[in-house]
Structure 1
Amino acid sequence: MSYFKQKLNTEPTSAFDLLSQLYDLTGLVYLHDQNFPVIAFLPKKFLVFQQSILQQFHQTTFNQYQLHPKATTVTEFSNFDQTTPSAQQNVVFDGGYIGFFSYDYSANQHVNISSHPQPSFFLGQYSTFLRFQDNAWYFHSREENAQAIYAFISDLIAQPTSKNLSALTLLEASHPRWSKQQYLNAFQHVQEYIKAGDCYQINLTQEFKATAQGSLLNSAQALWQLTHAPYAGYLKINDFELLSCSPELFIEFQNNRKIKTRPIKGTMPRFNDPQQDQRSKEKLSRSEKDQAENVMIVDLLRNDLSVYAETGSVTTTKLFEIESFNQVHHMVSEITATLKEEINPMQMLLSALPGGSITGAPKIRAMQIIEELEGAPRGAYCGSLGYFNFDGTGRWNILIRSIQKYQTELSMWAGGGITIASDAEAEYQECFDKISAMLNLLNTWQKTDL
C-alpha cells in the first residue's frame, strides 16, 4: 500500500483553526496526544453505538457513507498486524483506529446501568490524517486518491473562515444538578456502604449542565489554552460533540507488547502565590489519605492488567508522584506490564474499561453503587478517547475534565474518590477545585440580554 506524505502549504497554525476549516468532514477527530497532535477525518469505515443499536458505515465516495447491512463487533472491526515492529521511536498515530468509549458502554459490559441517549461509542478506521511535526502540519494518507484528497484539504484550509461553525451560546449558566445537601447525602450513603464492607472506595461524581446552542468546538481553543492538558481532544459525530481537557493517561500500548497505565488519585488546588502553591503540593505529597486512595487504585489496576499480561511482568514503576497542572496538583502512579502474545490489544482495552481511578474498589460493586447514587448516566465522562495504530500500538486517555454536548444539552462532571477517611466538605470542594476554572470560562459564552 502506497503512503503519501506532504507538508501543508500553510504557516504553522493551531489545531483549532484547522478543525474549524475541516468541520464538515465526516468523523472529524483531534488528539493532542501528549504533544504529538493529530487531526483525522474521512474514515474508510466506522462503527457507532447509540441507544443499544450498533451500526457500521462504509465510505462510498468522498465524504459520503452508506450503512453496512451487518455491523461487526469492535474486536472484529479492528484488524491488527503486530508482527511488524513500528518504525516510530515514540508512540504516535500513523494510521489505524481512533474513537471513544463512554463510561456507560464500558460499565454495561459488567453491570446493568442506564445509558445516555447520545452515542455510547465511536470507532473509525483512518488512513488519512494531519500530524504536527517539525513545527509544521503534514498531510498523511494511504488512500489511492491521496493527492486529490490533499488538494481538497489544502483548498479548505486556505479559506479564511469556516462558514458552518456556529457560535456557542449557553442559554443559562452551567450549574450543578445537585445541591450541596444532595451531594452530602450521597457522600453519607457511600460512607455507609464502606462501613458495611461493600467497598473500599467509590468515585462519587456530580454533573454540571446547561442548555446550549451552536458548536462546542468554538470553545475549544480557549479551554485548551486554559488547561494545557496532555490528553486533550475533540470528536464530532452528527449532533454530538466531545471536548477533552484530560490530564490522565489510561493505557499506552507500546512496541513489543509493552503497556503502561498512569492512574490519578489525589488532588490539591494550585495557588498564584508560589509559597502557598508549594505548601499545597507538599501537603498532597504527605497526605496519608490520598496515598491510601492511590494505592487502592494501583492494586485494582495491577489486577486488571494481570489478566492479560505475561506472568510476573506487572510492575509498579512509580508511586505517589506529584504532577502539577494549571488548576490542580495530582498524585500519580505508574504501572507497566507485557501483554501475552495471543492477546488482541482492543480486547484488553475493552476489558480494562472503565478505568479503576474513576470507579472505585472493588470495581463491580463500585459501579453498582455509582449507578444507584449518581442519578444520571455519565455518558462519555470517565470513558476513554484515543487510538490504536494498525500495529497495535496506541494511547487512550481517561475522559475527565471533559465536556459533552448532545443536541442542546451540554454537561461536564467532577468528583473524587471517597474512602472511610474522606471529609465531606473537602470532597465537595475538590469537585470545584478540579473544574471551576473551566466552568467559569464556559459560562462566558452565556447569552446576555442587551
Structure 2
Amino acid sequence: MTVELSKYAMKVLQGDMMTPISVYQALTGQYKMLFESSAKHEESGRYSFIAVNPVAELTGNQEEYTFSKEEEQEKTSGNVLDKLKQVMPFHQASYPFAFFGGAIGFFGYETAFYTEKIGEYLQDDLAMPDVHVFFYDTFIVFDHLKQEITLASIDLFQEGRTLEEMETAVLAMEQQLYAGATFDAAKVNTLAFKPMISKEQFVALVERAKQHILKGDIFQIVLSQRFSAPFTGSPFALYRQLRTTNPSPYMFYMDYGAYVILGTSPESLVKVKNRQVTTNPIAGTKPRGATAEQDEEIANALLQDEKEIAEHRMLVDLGRNDLGRIAKVGSVQLMKYMTIERYKYVMHIVSEVIADLRDDLHVLDVLRACLPAGTVSGAPKIRAMQLINELEPVKRGVYAGAVGYISTTGDMDLALAIRTMIIKDQQAHVQAGAGIVYDSVPLSEYEETLNKARALLEVKK
C-alpha cells in the first residue's frame, strides 16, 4: 500500500545529555521497542530507534492471523505475511531517516515453511506466533554523529490524523524526556541455564547429521540446542548488562507485554536501502585469545582452516543464490570477502553480498527469499531444513529467524535472531547452533554452541 504523505510533526533536540537507555526508561507507554548498535561511529550504526504505543498489531502464522487497529480486530484464516504485505503502508516522501514509522517485530524461523515444503511443525513448547509485528506512528531517532535526537509523529495509515494530533504526540514525548528517566537499579543475578538435551544427545545428533552428509543428502547443516533458566527480575536490567559485556552491530530490546525479546546479534539477515539489498554471511567461528598475540594467531589460523573456509564459501554462494532470486539480472556482487570480525567471546569470518531489488517485487519478497540464512540452516538449504526438522526436538521460533523493522520509506533492516534471549512465563531461553560438515568433530561442535551462547549464558551483575 503506497500513499502520498501530506504532513508530519518533527522536533530536533540536542542529544549530548541523553542516551538511548535513558530515553527508553523515560518514555511511558506500552510495547516499547529499542534498536541500537555498537558501531555508533560508523554509518551502519549511526542511528538508534525507539518506538512506543503502537497503533496496530499483526500476529499469526501460515494458517491464521489477527490484525488489530484501534477498536477493531480481524481474526481470520490466511497467511500472516500476505496480510502484512497488504496493510504495510509506504509513503511517497523524502524522509531524513531509514526508519520513519512502520512495522517493528520478529519473523520466526518457521516463517520459511510458508514457501517451501519443510515438514510438519515441531512441538511449539514456547507457544509463540511465527510473526508478531506492531505498527508505530510515533518514534524517536538518535543521530549519534550529530548528537541529535529527533522526535517524530506521522499519519501512518493516512486516515486523516491531524497535524495538531501529531504535534501533541511529539510534545508528550518531549515532556517525558525532560521529566527524566526512572532508572532501573535491579541487579542481574547469574542465571542457572540448563540445556534441553544432554551433551551425549547433541553429539549423537551430530553423528546422525554426518551420516546424511556422507550419503550426499547435504553438504552442511546447522544443528542447535536451547538453554533455559528460571528468571525473575528486570529484563531491561539484563539487556543493559548484555549490551555492555557483548556489544554488537545489532542490539535490541522488544517488549511485547506477554514476553520480551532481547539480544546482541552480530549478523544481519538482510537489509534493503533505496531498493539495494545487502546480506552479510557469517560462517567460521573461533573463541577469542587471552592476549592480543594469541588472538591474532587464532585469527590467522581461522583463515587457514580448511573446514571453516569451505563452510564459509558454501554459505557465501548460498547468499548469492538467495539474492539472485529477487535481484535484477547481473546486479549480484560480492563486496567483501572473508574478513575477520571480533566480539567479546568469539571471532567470525564475514563477507558481504549486494544486489538491486527487481522493480516488480515487494520488500517482503526479499524476506521470503533470504529467511532463514544459510548460516543457521545449511546447504542445500531446503534439504538441510528438512533434516533439522527431523533432528531437533522443538520448534525454533524466534531463534534463527529475524528481528527488525520495515519502514514507510520502503527500507527494511532485519537482524538474524542469534545471540538472542526470550523471556516468557518467568523463564529465559537462549539457543545456539554449530555448522556440521563431513569432517566435523562432534564434541567440538558441542563446544561451539556453548561458545556462541556464552555471551548470554554468562550475563550477571
Q: Find the aligned partners of 1:123 and 1:221 in 2 and give their Cα distance.
A: 23
- Out of 141, 153, 163, which is 1:131 matched to? 141
Aligned to 2:85: 75
Matched, 1:92 2:128: no
Matched, 1:58 2:60: no
- Answer whether contact 2:335 2:353 (CA < 8 A) is retained: yes
- Answer whether contact 2:102 2:137 (CA < 8 A) is retained: yes
**Structure 1 167/374 Cα, relative in aligned 2: closer, same or farther at 3 Å?**
farther
TM-score (norm 1): 0.88
- Out of 44, 47, 58, which is 2:58 matched to? 47
Aligned to 2:153: 141
How big is the shift at 1:153?
2.2
How big is the shift at 1:93?
1.4
- Out of 106, 111, 114, which is 1:105 matched to? 111
Matched, 1:25 2:29: yes
Q: Find the aligned partners of 1:167 and 1:407 in 2 and give their Cα distance.
A: 19
How big is the shift at 1:384?
0.6
Aligned to 2:294: 276
Map 1:361-380 to 2 at 5 A.
361-380=379-398
Q: Find the aligned partners of 2:75 and 2:199 in 1 and give their Cα distance.
A: 49
Query: How large is the RMSD of aligned CA atoms in angstroms?
Result: 2.5
Relative to structure 2, which stretch is displaced further, 117-126 or 288-297? Answer: 117-126
Relative to structure 2, which stretch is displaced further, 144-153 or 123-132? Answer: 144-153
Q: Find the aligned partners of 2:65 and 2:234 in 1 and give their Cα distance.
A: 26
Q: Find the aligned partners of 1:69 and 1:117 in 2 and give their Cα distance.
A: 18
Matched, 1:228 2:239: no
Residue type of the alignment partner of 2:411: T
Aligned to 2:42: none
Q: Find the aligned partners of 1:154 and 1:80 in 2 and give their Cα distance.
A: 26
Residue type of the alignment partner of 1:113: Y
How big is the shift at 1:266?
0.6
TM-score (norm 2): 0.86
How big is the shift at 1:79?
3.4
- Out of 338, 354, 358, which is 1:320 matched to? 338
- Write out per-residue CA displacement over residues 186-239 of structure 1, whole angstroms, 9 at most, x where no aligned residue: 110110111111111111111111122344222111101111111111112121
Secondary structure of the residue that 1:428 maps to in structure 2?
Answer: helix
Aligned to 2:430: 412
- Answer whether contact 1:321 1:332 (CA < 8 A) is retained: yes
- Write out per-residue CA displacement over residues 399-423 of structure 1, whole angstroms, 9 at most, x where no aligned residue: 1101011222210111121111222
**Structure 1 436/314 Cα, relative in aligned 2: closer, same or farther at 3 Å?**
same
Q: Find the aligned partners of 2:235 and 2:63 in 1 and give their Cα distance.
A: 25
- Write out per-residue CA displacement over residues 230-256 of structure 1, whole angstroms, 9 at most, x where no aligned residue: 11111121211100210101111122x
Map 1:303-382 to 2 at 5 A.
303-382=321-400
Aligned to 1:219: 238
How big is the shift at 1:105?
2.9
How big is the shift at 1:10?
7.3
**Structure 1 407/19 Cα, relative in aligned 2: closer, same or farther at 3 Å?**
farther
**Structure 1 5/308 Cα, relative in aligned 2: closer, same or farther at 3 Å?**
same
Give % identity.
Answer: 29
Secondary structure of the residue that 1:441 maps to in structure 2?
Answer: coil
How big is the shift at 1:67?
2.2
Residue type of the alignment partner of 1:157: L
- Write out per-residue CA displacement over residues 64-99 of structure 1, whole angstroms, 9 at most, x where no aligned residue: xx4246687121122335x76x555xx731222222
**Structure 1 306/50 Cα, relative in aligned 2: closer, same or farther at 3 Å?**
closer
Secondary structure of the residue that 1:213 maps to in structure 2?
Answer: coil
Secondary structure of the residue that 2:310 maps to in structure 1?
Answer: helix
How big is the shift at 1:18?
2.6
Q: Find the aligned partners of 2:113 and 2:19 in 1 and give their Cα distance.
A: 35
Residue type of the alignment partner of 2:244: Q
Matched, 1:202 2:259: no
Q: Find the aligned partners of 1:52 and 1:16 in 2 and give their Cα distance.
A: 38
Q: Which runs of 5+ in 2 are unaligned?
A: 1-5, 38-44, 156-161
- Answer whether contact 2:235 2:260 (CA < 8 A) is retained: yes
- Answer whether contact 2:269 2:402 (CA < 8 A) is retained: yes
- Answer whether contact 1:241 1:404 (CA < 8 A) is retained: yes
Q: Find the aligned partners of 2:191 and 2:238 in 1 and give their Cα distance.
A: 16
Residue type of the alignment partner of 1:156: Q
- Write out per-residue CA displacement over residues 83-133 of structure 1, whole angstroms, 9 at most, x where no aligned residue: 76x555xx7312222221011333454223224412322223322111111
Residue type of the alignment partner of 2:222: N
Aligned to 2:446: 428
User: How many pairs align?
Assistant: 431
Q: Find the aligned partners of 1:294 and 1:171 in 2 and give their Cα distance.
A: 34
Secondary structure of the residue that 2:90 maps to in structure 1?
Answer: coil
- Answer whether contact 1:45 1:125 (CA < 8 A) is retained: yes
Secondary structure of the residue that 1:228 maps to in structure 2?
Answer: coil
Residue type of the alignment partner of 1:152: A
- Answer whether contact 1:78 1:346 (CA < 8 A) is retained: no
Q: Find the aligned partners of 2:148 and 2:348 in 1 and give their Cα distance.
A: 32
- Out of 14, 17, 24, which is 1:12 matched to? 17
**Structure 1 166/379 Cα, relative in aligned 2: closer, same or farther at 3 Å?**
farther
How big is the shift at 1:168?
7.5
How big is the shift at 1:16?
2.6
Secondary structure of the residue that 1:400 maps to in structure 2?
Answer: coil
- Write out per-residue CA displacement over residues 364-389 of structure 1, whole angstroms, 9 at most, x where no aligned residue: 11112112222122221111111222
Aligned to 2:49: 38
- Write out per-residue CA displacement over residues 10-45 of structure 1, whole angstroms, 9 at most, x where no aligned residue: 7633323332333x6233211115331000122232
Matched, 1:118 2:128: yes
